[in-house]
Structure 1
C-alpha cells in the first residue's frame, strides 16, 4: 500500500486520511484492493476539488459528499463494472492461451488428442471410455482445485491484499471444469444420429477444446499468475 500512498500523497490529503478512505471502501463492501485503490483515488480527487471551493470543509463532510455522488447503491455499480472488466480480461487471457494450441508446435498435441477422442467415441467401448474419462477429469479437477485453493490462501496471507483478477485465476478453473463435466455427460446419451461421422467430429472437437480450456484454466494460467497480475496491476508485488 505504501507505493500507492506515495502516488496519492501528491494530493492534499494526509496518509491517515488516505488510510481512512481505504477503510471506508472496505466498510462499504469493496473487498478487492485494486478496486479500493481506484475508488480511493476517485474520492481523494473529489475531496481535493471540494476543498479548492470550500477550504474550511471538514474531511468527513467532503468524504460523505463525494460518496453521495455514487448514488443510492453506493459502490455497487463500481463493483459490478469492475467484475465485468476483470472477467473480460480473464477470458482474453484464456482465449490467448487457447489459440497457442492451434499453432506449431502445440497443434501436434491438439491433433493427437482430437484423433484419440474421435476413435474412442467411434469405438464399441464408448461407454467405458466416457465413464473412465469422467472419473479421471473429476478426480483431477478436485485435486488441482484443492491445490490452487491452498496456493490462493497462501498468497493472500503473504500480501494481505485481495486482487480481483488473482481470485479469478485461482478460482475460475472450478467453473470451467463444471462446464466440461456437464458436457461430458452427453457421451452417456449418444444416439445413432450423434454417432454419424459429422456428429462424432463435432463431439470430438468439442471435447478437445474443452479439455484444452480445462488444462489452461487449472495449469497454464495459474502458472503465469505473476506475469498476468503485473501486466494488469502495475503496483502489484508479492
Structure 2
C-alpha cells in the first residue's frame, strides 16, 4: 500500500497554512489526520491521486473548511480557563476559605463606614491602580508572546487563548470600573449604606479575581504553553 511521502507531508502543511490555520500545533494535528485519511483512501482506490484524495477529505470539513475547527478549539480552551477561573473563585465562598472572604468583606465595610469619603477614595484608588497594573501587565504579556512567535516562526493555539484571556477581562472590568467610579463621583463620594456594601462586595470579588488569575490561571497557561512548545519541538 502506498504511503504518504515526506514531500507530500510538506504539501499538507502548506495546504493548511493556505486555508488559514496559523497555529502550528493545529497544523500538525490536521496534517496527521489528512495523511491517515489519504492513506485510507489509497487502500480502497490505489489509483487516486494525492491531490484528488486531499480535496475529497477537505470537503468533509464543510464550507468553512478548517476555520470552523480552529474556532471550535479556541472556544473550548477559553471555556476551560473561564471555568477554571470561576471554580477557583467559588472556592472562596466555601468552608474554610469563606471565613477569609467574609472577614475581608467585613473589614472593608468597617473601613468605609469609619473613613467615609477618604476611605472611598482609597478603595477606588486601589481598584483603579490594580486595574491599570492588570492592563499594563497584559500588554507586556501579549507583547512577549508575539515576540516569541516571531523568534520561533511558529505560534500555538494556547498563545491565542492566553492573549484573549488578558484582553477580554480588561474590556469587561474596564466597563465595570467606569460605571462604579462614575456613579460615586455623581454622588460626590457620599455613597449610601447600601452603596458601601456594594462597593465592598465588588472590591472583594476584584481582589479574589486578581489573586486567582495570577496564582492559578496565568501559571497554568504558561505551563501549558511550555509543554506545547516541548511537545512540538521535534515535529
TM range (shorter): 0.7 to 0.9
Among candidates 65, 74, 83, match of residue 65 of structure 2? 74
Match of 1:93 in 2: 84
Which residue does the alignment assign to 1:156?
149
**Residues matched between the structures, number:** 226
Rounded to whole Å, the distance in 2 between the matches of 1:15 and 1:195 is 72
Query: What residue in structure 2 maps to residue 206 of structure 1?
Result: 202
Query: Contact 2:128/2:177 (CA < 8 Å) preserved in 1?
Result: no
The answer as to 2:56 corresponding to 1:65 is yes
1:25–1:36 Cα contact (<8 Å) kept: yes
User: Matches of 1:224 and 1:110 in 2, distance apart?
Assistant: 24
- Taking structure 2 as the reference length, what is the TM-score of the superposition? 0.76
Secondary structure of the structure 2 residue equivalent to 1:224:
helix
**1:178-228: CA deviation from partner (whole Å, max 9, x where unpaired):** 32232123333156xx8344x543442233223322444356422333433
User: Can you list the C-alpha shifts for 1:110-152, whole angstroms capped at 9, x where unaligned?
Assistant: 4554345434554233652365235413431233123212321
Q: 1:53 aligns with which of 44, 64, 69?
A: 44
CA distance in 1, matches of 2:145, 2:87: 23
Residue matched to 1:165? 158
Do the aligned partners of 1:169 and 1:217 also contact (CA within 8 Å) in 2? no
Which protein is richer in helix relative to its size?
2
Relative to structure 2, which stretch is displaced further, 40-49 or 169-178? 169-178
- Paired residue for 1:41? 32
Question: Which shifted more, 53-62 or 217-226?
Answer: 217-226
1:18-67 deviations in Å (ceiling 9; x for gaps): 22212211111111223222322222222112111111211111111111
Could you say what the CA RMSD is over the residues aligned between the two structures, in angstroms? 3.5
For 1:30, the equivalent position in structure 2 comes to 21
Corresponding position: 1:128 with 2:121: yes
Structure with the bigger RCO (C-alpha within 8 Å, sep 6+) is: 2
- Structure 1 unmatched ranges of 5 or more: 1-10
Aligned in 2, Cα 1:20/1:56: closer, same or farther, shift over 3 Å?
Answer: same
Partner of 1:222: 218
